[in-house]
């Protein structure tokens, strides 16, 4: 059993079931949330022994390696899971705080053409405590006296969060728990490639998180080329699901659009995109694509990005262009893990 999968009240129940006083639950829970190992936590020797005898581990992640940008302090992490699998994440610093991009699966089975995370397929889902463990490990690594380092979270690392729905939902509840790390749902964004039934299920939870759709193409024909998920769900029903999310939650949704040179960055594409999302409470985030060596796709030039933005803004659509963070340690999502794995193989 893994302790980081448990909520505060479940830890209370566990401690009582082991015959220990309830107040020890708070010490145990707080120690875990600070990233301590069981042996480092200020609890009785008896409780430590009972936890060990009953096969409890923390179930978090260990930082295996990190790469710090000399330009803007962005940190890329490789984490090791208890079973030896490797995942990655990135901490980005902004004026308003620091955002941690977390992974929800080891690998991914969604097959997006521009993404390195999917090249080896899905290895396994992460448990809720392993997603939470990434936040805890980074907080511990960047400990300041006053505050925790991570103020915002994006579920945009390796894996499709809605393909690991139950663990993702559990993680969202654990990370926003007032007795724990207590990050507001409003400071969390979840990015999906568009699993329509799960978008609707999530909408009904009314969690207050921001939902982003990796859109990347304005027609079914083009999207099928780069995102196999669109063979299962047509663009129209995917956009309808996003409208439903807005209606149910009152939250503005985000469309992520990675600009691939000469493929989806033309004037015609911008016009089609504008038509698709017209009259929706939404925002478009343009992403100059990082080249993924294995895919043969290359990102649009600055000039083409600016033109695409202009076309959308003329139509009254709110647009930002994602700033490249940590250019000196760059690499598209999933590349760090892949280069680690290929080093291991050699």
Q: Does 15 bind ligand SF4 (CB under 6 A)?
A: no
Q: How many other C-beta atoms can be found within 10 angstroms of the C-beta atom of residue 92?
A: 20
Nearest distance in Å: CB 117, ligand SF4: 4
| 36 burial level (CB within 10 Å; 0-12, 13-18, 19+) | middle
- When asked if residue 292 is in the footprint of ligand SF4 (CB under 6 A), the reply is no
Determine if 88 is a binding residue for ligand SF4 (CB under 6 A). no
Nearer to ligand SF4, 118 or 176 (CB): 118
Stretch that binds ligand SF4, among 31-39, 112-120, 147-155, 318-326 (CB under 6 A): 112-120
> Which residue stretch of 29-37, 152-160, 284-292, 314-322 sits at the interface with ligand SF4 (rule: CB under 6 A)?
152-160
The least distance separating ligand SF4 from the CB of residue 42, rounded to whole angstroms, comes to 39
Q: Which stretch binds ligand SF4 (CB under 6 A): 154-162, 201-209, 288-296, 337-345?
A: 154-162
CB 159 within 8 A of CB 126: yes
Tell me which DSSP letter residue 154 carries.
Answer: E
If one asks whether residue 118 binds ligand SF4 (CB under 6 A), the answer comes out as yes
Task: Please confirm, yes or no, whether 88 is among the known catalytic residues.
Answer: yes
Options 88, 130, 160, 256, the catalytic residue: 88
Residue closer to ligand SF4 (CB basis): 56 or 114: 114
The footprint of ligand SF4 on residues 203-242 (CB under 6 A) is 214
Q: Look up residue 328 and give its two tokens.
A: 């000196």
Write the CA distances from 3 to 14, 182, 254, integer angstroms: 10, 18, 34
Residue 188 has φ and ψ, to the nearest 5°, of -120, 135
Which residues, numbered 157-176, are part of the site for ligand SF4 (CB under 6 A)? 158-160
When the beta carbons of 125 and 214 are compared against ligand SF4, the nearer one is 214
How far apart CA 103 and CA 88 sit, in angstroms, is: 7
Distance from the first to the final alpha carbon of the chain: 34
Q: Name the segment binding ligand SF4 (CB under 6 A); options: 4-12, 24-32, 111-119, 145-153.
A: 111-119
Kindly tell me which of 97 and 228 has the beta carbon lying closer to ligand SF4: 228
Instruction: Tell me: does residue 297 bind ligand SF4 (CB under 6 A).
Output: no
User: What kind and span of H or E run contains 52?
Assistant: helix 45-53
- The two beta strands, 97-101 and 86-94, are antiparallel
Among positions 61, 108, 190, 207, the unique one binding ligand SF4 when judged by CB under 6 A? 108
160 noted as active-site residue: no
Binding flag, residue 102, ligand SF4 (CB under 6 A): no
**What are the strands, taking DSSP E only, across 227-341?**
253-259, 282-288, 319-321
Q: Which phi and psi angles does 321 have, rounded to 5°?
A: -110, 125
From candidates 32, 188, 193, 207, binder to ligand SF4 by CB under 6 A: 193
Give the β-pairing of 152-155 and 253-259: unpaired
Task: Return the bridge partners of 97, or none.
Answer: 94
Using CB under 6 A, which of 50, 86, 112, 136 touches ligand SF4? 112
- The closest of 100, 90, 86, 138 to 337, measured between CA atoms, is 86
Question: Interface with ligand SF4 includes 58 (CB under 6 A)?
Answer: no
* CA angle in degrees (0–180, nearest 5) for 61-29-204: 80
Q: Return the active site residues.
A: 88, 333
**Contact residues for ligand SF4, defined by CB under 6 A:** 108, 110-112, 115, 117-118, 158-160, 193, 214
């Amino acid at each position: 059993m893994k302790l980081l999968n448990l909520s505060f009240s479940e830890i209370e129940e566990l401690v009582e079931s082991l015959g220990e006083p309830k107040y020890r639950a708070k010490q145990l829970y707080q120690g875990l949330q600070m990233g301590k190992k069981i042996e480092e936590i200020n609890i009785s020797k008896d409780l430590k022994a009972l936890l060990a005898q009953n096969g409890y581990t923390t179930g978090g992640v260990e930082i295996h390696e990190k790469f710090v940008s000399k330009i803007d302090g962005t940190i890329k992490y490789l984490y090791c899971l208890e079973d030896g699998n490797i995942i990655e994440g990135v901490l980005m610093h902004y004026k308003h705080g620091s955002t941690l991009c977390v992974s929800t699966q080891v690998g991914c089975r969604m097959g997006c053409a521009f993404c390195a995370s999917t090249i080896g397929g899905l290895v396994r889902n992460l448990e809720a405590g392993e997603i939470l463990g990434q936040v805890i490990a980074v907080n511990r690594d960047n400990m300041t006296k006053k505050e925790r380092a991570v103020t915002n979270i994006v579920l945009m690392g390796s894996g499709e969060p809605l393909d690991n729905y139950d663990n993702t939902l559990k993680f969202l509840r654990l990370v926003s728990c007032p007795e724990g790390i207590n990050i507001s749902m409003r400071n969390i964004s979840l990015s999906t490639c568009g699993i329509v039934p799960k978008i609707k299920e999530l909408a009904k939870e009314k969690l207050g998180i921001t939902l982003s759709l990796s859109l990347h193409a304005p027609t079914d024909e083009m999207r099928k080329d780069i995102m196999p998920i669109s063979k299962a769900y047509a663009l129209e029903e995917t956009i309808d699901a996003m409208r439903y999310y807005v209606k149910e939650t009152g939250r503005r949704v985000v469309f992520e659009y990675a600009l691939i040179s000469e493929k989806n960055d033309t004037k015609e594409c911008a016009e089609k995109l504008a038509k698709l999302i017209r009259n929706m409470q939404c925002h478009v985030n343009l992403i100059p694509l990082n080249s993924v060596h294995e895919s043969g796709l290359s990102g649009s030039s600055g000039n083409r990005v600016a033109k695409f933005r202009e076309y959308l803004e003329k139509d009254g659509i709110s647009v930002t262009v994602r700033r490249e963070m940590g250019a000196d340690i760059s690499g598209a999502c999933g590349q760090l893990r892949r280069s680690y794995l290929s080093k291991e193989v050699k």
